Amino acid sequence: MHCRPVATPAELSVHLRIRERVFVDEQAIFTGTDRDERDADPATIHVLGFCDGEIAGTVRLYALDEEGVWLGDRLAVLPAYRARHVAAPLVRFAVRSAGERGGRLMRAHVQVANVRFFRRLGWIALGGPADYLGRPHQDMVIELGV
């Protein structure tokens, strides 16, 4: 299992298709598309996770402010790879990447069913669950290493 930022327009297209499959087709969190203005921003980092040489999942990250706060979102793993431990390397890669770019803190809006997974990776819940995109999500943070 390894992760890296997308390197070509074709890889970005695959990244976006995986997100659409998970968030539009499977979970119906979005209607039509999950794309937003962050996808067109060249500062946004789109990441691919590979398992046995195949693209198995994605995550996206970007700086929220000039103070070093980053957001990780759109963590998506194809169903065939969910039992193959693809999500943790994607999250760790996002955290490391934000830290390497001067980030001090990363935030995420985590689906409630995934809170325990994020806690095992060192994330801390802020407050209680709240509605985000029509589903209960938990705001979570992790401090970024230098």
The 10s digit of each residue's pLDDT in 90-112 is 999 999 999 999 999 999 999 99
Going 55 to 111 to 108 to 73, the CA torsion angle's sign is positive
How many domains is the chain built from? 1
CATH at residue 51? 3.40.630.30
Ranges in the chain, pLDDT < 70: 146
What pTM does this model have?
A: 0.95
Domain that holds residue 44: 2-143
What is the predicted pLDDT for the residue at 134?
Answer: 86
| Phi, psi values for residue 125, rounded to 5° | -75, 140
Q: What span, in angstroms and rounded, lies between the C-alpha atoms of 109 and 103?
A: 18
The answer to whether 54 touches 60, Cβ cutoff 8 Å, is: no
